[in-house]
Structure 1
């Protein structure tokens, strides 16, 4: 019996189930077809509505496609609903793989290549293409538009690995560690967390084989982001501890260890530990002491320019609204954000300022900043900003009695529905 079968046994429609859970009907449809799985916060309520325990719910949820297939294989339809594997169990397995650095196998063959830039199949050519793709990713309003190119590049790279010397294979594994991190970024921005985790696992494994400690550490940092954004802060702390150890073995002129610290601050804030959070932020701030650029413009971009907004966001998490508002307002006025050079960053700051208004029960502040963030989410199709807005809506509480706040909440809901997110 699958999820749809159980729903029908109870005489419940997709619309009725969606209403009971506070999600859109299309979200229920995606669960039942196996395209996505219910996220952890929704599982207890879903089990209650379906009159099963959590173990019983696990047996009802259809297994989504192999996450790696999103990037290296054509889509395979799987509507059987059988052989379901709980998403959390799979996530734990992927996390363990990433931390231990178990080497993932990559398909092999040579000849076919993406184009002139990778015709010879050398690591230098692939790296130049990767650098270009990262630049496009950073500038693109709609990140998902880059997906087909990244997938082709991954396919070309996997076909190039066969029959190479040990030194060449190691260099190409470094390229793979780079490219799988970009693939994960695309998945994460589109709210496909399992796919993102799988890509970061492959990135960590390939980076380990390449003996590139900074690249490996950054793959783990990105993997930790998946855990942080799903509220699994203890797991994130564990991953980041491994990343910190790797960063110490890396290039001291790079900002890797400082980026690790900045994400550790977010994980500690999620656990309510103000002191640990501030210690990590102070460590991250030491990026200003680096004499060189510290970044490479691709998989490592942390230069400390966003530390003010990150510190403000951490204060919001910790409930220190006075400190948060002052810090975030300053960040919003920063020239880079004011000029709209980063839609995702500006959208996050605006959402945090709206969240402060929600906590203070100030509808004017919620609407002012929330609407601007909503517009940015629409313009950029950013799953990240949309996700932050959904979290904001959950904090509205009694403010929904204000018609302006209620309207904003409805528009946020429509944004999520239009993106087909679950």
Structure 2
């Protein structure tokens, strides 16, 4: 690895970003950015397109910044990917609205969903008004696209805030997003709506057949426009097969997902859908459902290591890791994972994490008299009492 990457530091500063700001954009801890800049580790391959976009450089230029301590992008050579076009940065423009909405979405994994609902509803109302007022053409399409994304995000917030119980409202909002996506002819938006509907089927009503149908529909919806979306949809299709007790079909879907992941590039329309530890997280969940506990532990440990702390995603991973440990008879390791998962939930209140943690705690009943198990019960009770 390179020594201290002065060029990387300089490029970040040129973009007006602190280490904390860059970390927030990328959804990682500040310590991760510190290690990159110090040359102590390299960004994961799936993280590099995001890092390049945040820094306004091409993939080639980013590689030079990472490989040489003195590597610097020549003045004026960096792409101004996130810079608005002349006259497009006025309040209410598509660019400023998009940036504002993206900042809100990035807060999802770290904050309680209920705390974001009002802001998300305000954004949605504004997008609906602008879409209604805009004339036909590019601007109307842009506002309709924002409206479709905001509708789906509100659905995600409602479902999570209800601890994944309000399936009807979530599905209604996702269906509305799907209708808008089909109206504007956006295959990627259509696939994202189908994918979220599949989440409700798989993890809400526990209908694996419907979840499989929706996940496969999501994989095909972008029609080759997004390997990132197809990859994630295939991962969820694999989990549906695992829930149905179909290991062969599950493994096939995981392999298809890997092929799509290998083809994701900087310009993928759903690039932000690829999150840290995602492949490990979903593969681990598949192995857990199939009773392959050793494989599940291996994947979930890797996922937890890649995910930033204090996030909803990490609480789900740790809850599933606890389940795998408990089913192996490793009660101490299982309760340790549960304690960390509950600590994660104290800040995020993620509905998915709460559901998984409760499931793991129920499986500790045979050991309910053990002090460490009683401690987990007490922590979980204190968490729920404070909701």
Same fold (TM over 0.5): yes
Conserved in 1, the CA contact under 8 Å of 2:293 and 2:325?
no
1:124 deviation in Å? 4.1
What is residue 239 of structure 1 aligned with on the other side? Answer: 214
Is residue 258 of structure 1 aligned with residue 231 of structure 2?
A: yes
For residue 221 of structure 1, the aligned residue among 187, 195, 201 is 195
Distance 1:181 1:201 in 2: 9
Is the contact made by 1:147 and 1:183 (CA closer than 8 Å) also made in structure 2? yes
- Determine if the alignment matches structure 1 residue 206 to structure 2 residue 180: yes
Offset of residue 318 of structure 1:
1.0
Query: How far 1:410 moved relative to its partner?
Result: 4.3
Conserved in 2, the CA contact under 8 Å of 1:130 and 1:178?
no
Say which of 240, 243, 253 aligns to 1:280: 253
The alpha carbon displacement at 1:414 in A equals: 4.4
- Deviation at residue 372 of structure 1 after TM alignment: 0.9
> Which of the residues 96, 99, 109 maps onto 1:128?
99
Shift of the 364–304 alpha-carbon distance from structure 1 to 2, 3 Å rule, reads: closer
TM-score of the superposition, structure 2-length normalised?
Answer: 0.69
**In 2, are the aligned partners of 1:118 and 1:125 still within 8 Å (CA)?**
yes
Choose from 373, 378, 381 the match for 2:341. Answer: 373
For the residue of structure 2 that corresponds to 1:401, the secondary structure is coil
How does 1:16-415 map onto structure 2 within 5 Å? 119-120=91-92, 122-138=93-109, 140-167=110-137, 168-190=139-161, 191=163, 192-230=166-204, 231-247=206-222, 249-252=223-226, 254-290=227-263, 292-293=265-266, 295=268, 300-302=272-274, 305-332=277-304, 334=305, 336-337=306-307, 339-340=308-309, 343-415=311-383
How far 1:293 sits from its partner (Å)? 2.5
Q: 2:235·2:254 contact (CA, 8 Å) conserved in 1?
A: yes
Q: Judging changes above 3 Å, is the alpha-carbon distance between structure 1 residues 297 and 282 closer, same or farther for their aligned structure 2 residues?
A: closer
Distance in 2, matches of 1:275 and 1:402, equals 39
Which position in structure 2 is the counterpart of 1:8?
none
5+ residue gaps, structure 1, are 1-115
Q: Provide, for residues 149-193 of structure 1, a one-character-per-residue CA deviation record: whole Å limited to 9, x for no partner.
A: 111111112222335333243332211111112112212221243
Aligned-residue CA RMSD (Å): 2.6
State the aligned residue count.
295
State how far apart, in whole Å, the 1-side matches of 2:177 and 2:283 are. Answer: 28
Distance in 2 (alpha carbons) for counterparts of 1:159 and 1:331: 41
> Gaps spanning 5+ residues in structure 2: where?
1-87
Distance in structure 2 (CA, Å) of the matches to 1:129 and 1:201: 24
Query: Is 2:281–2:303's contact at 8 Å kept on the other side of the alignment?
Result: yes
